[in-house]
Amino acid sequence: MSADEPTQYLFSYGTLQNADVQLDTFGRLVESEPDALPGYTVDYAEIDDTRVVDLSGHSVHPIVRETGNPLDKVLGRALVVTEEELDASDEYEVSLYRRIAVVLASGRRAWVYVAA
């Protein structure tokens, strides 16, 4: 990541934390810090995309849904990525997911993939 490129945070609660997925999607291992997403809960979805299943090693992936309850939270990691890497993560995620902006428990503004 070049010094002049703005930092983005991408909250991952699933396969984007996997080294093989990061290397394939971003071309590198990305820095990250533990964080949490308040007001959401984890569900699971069957993935039909064979490329994603082969890369992640799993046909069932976690997917988050908003509950609005501040006591609910999803644990994960805030990945430090570039705009270009966000575009690459959009290519990786299947149509069951959509990317939205959120505020994490740490106060960071981040992107996260939620149920479409």
What mean pLDDT is reported for the chain? Answer: 90
Domain with residues 8-115, CATH architecture: Roll (3.10)
Domains of the chain by residue range: 8-115
Q: What is the DSSP string of the chain?
A: --TTSPPEEEEESSGGGSHHHHHHHHSSPPPEEEEEEETEEEEEEE---HHHHHHHS-SEEEEEEE---TT-EEEEEEEEE-HHHHHHHHHHS-TTEEEEEEE-TTS-EEEEEEE-
| % residues pLDDT > 90 (the chain) | 65
Close Cβ partners of 107 (under 8 Å, ≥ 6 residues apart): none
| % residues pLDDT > 70 (the chain) | 95
Considering only residues 84 and 53, tell me which one the structure prediction assigns the higher pLDDT: 84
